[in-house]
Every structure is written in structure tokens, then in C-alpha cells.
Amino acid sequence: MGRRTLRRVDPKLDLSRHFKVLEELPASWSPADLFEGTAPLEIDVGCGKGLFIASAAEAIPRHNFLGVEKAKRYAHFSAARIAKRSLPNAVILAGDAERLFGEILQSESVADVHVYFPDPWWKARHKKRRVLNEAFVRNVERVLVPAGRFHFWTDVQEYFDVTCELVAQVTRLEGPLEIAPREAEHDLDYQTHFERRTRLNEQPVYRSEFHKPR
């Protein structure tokens, strides 16, 4: 499924608290610098339009949520979504998640990592571009706290199977644990917009969760 055109963001909306660009941050910055106070940190990789991070940050105010999105226009849109809700515990970072995980995040600093419906890069010659590669998966394990969780959903069974095998081969993460689907209570009661479109089209969603040993 391709990405659809985004609605225009209100230019009067103040995004300074919720929108940051990875390349513009100081070399020694930490995700903790983006939030007020300390709290368990959850990271949404490829946050898209921000449906998950906005809903999760509102539902779990005791946690901080950092969304990472490579496409700057989507990062901007997501930041507008959380700014409208005035969520102090959510920030959107425009930038490369692989760099964030490989160069910036400290070991055992993240409670949960969420990767929902990442680009499958269908063609064989392009699969090396998938975010869930060996180096990234190893870094997911590294940054998770003991008992931390890695959540991965996709509508591509091949990507799901390959990733589950990769996690088993290169990490000590326990899983995959099966995640049962639930009925949506309203039109936006889905994990992401991709899940909504997939389920409304009666297509399967492959869900998994992995835990880091204590």
C-alpha cells in the first residue's frame, strides 16, 4: 500500500515542542533532553501520520514517546497531531532510525520499541533497504532494558517470517509471542492508519512481540 496525500498542517500551530530534526540536534544530545523529567521511553520507528504515538502518549501519560520518521513531511504531520492534543510526553524526530539506534541511543535505555508496517521493499535488489536488518535488530536488543519489549506488525507474511527468523538468529529476545487482534470501537481505533486500511480491506495482519530477558 502506498502513502496517500497528507492534509495541510495549520501554519499557526506551534510545533517547536513536538518536532525536531535529527541532523539539527547537538552532537551529544540524548532523547532524555527532549522531555520534561524522566520516564520510561518508548520509540515508534517509522511513525507515519502519528496515529499510534498520539493514542499511546495520551493513554499512557507516565511514559515518554519518541516517534522517528525519515520522511520529513510525515514527521511534520505527526508532530502537528500531537501538538493539537498538547501531549507533553510525545516528540517526533525527523531522521534516520538506523542512525538513532546505532549511534545515539544508550544501551538499556528504552522500555519498548514499536515497528508497525515498515516499508517491505518488495523487489529482491531493494530488500537490503529494509529497516529490520541484522544491525538494526541487534541494536533493538541492545537498547532495550531488561524485560523490555519489541513490537513488530506487518501485512507482508514474507517480511514477518524473515524478521522472526532473524531475531531468533542474532538476538536473545524471547518470542515471537502471538498478539490477538481486537475489534475496533471507532474509525480511528487502530494501531496505525496502515492497520486500519489493511483490516478494512479484509487482509491479514501479522503481529508479534518479543521480550528481552531480565
Degrees to nearest 5, angle at CA 79 with 86 and 51:
90
For the chain, which residues score pLDDT lower than 50?
Answer: 1-2, 189
Condensed to tens digits (0 to 9), the pLDDT of residues 64-83 reads 999 999 999 999 999 999 99
Q: What is the pLDDT of residue 212?
A: 98
**pLDDT for position 124:** 73
- pLDDT of 12 reads 82
Is 187 designated active site?
no
Which residue out of 44, 96, 119, 161 is catalytically annotated? 119
What ranges do the domains of the chain cover? 19-211
CATH class of 19-211: alpha beta
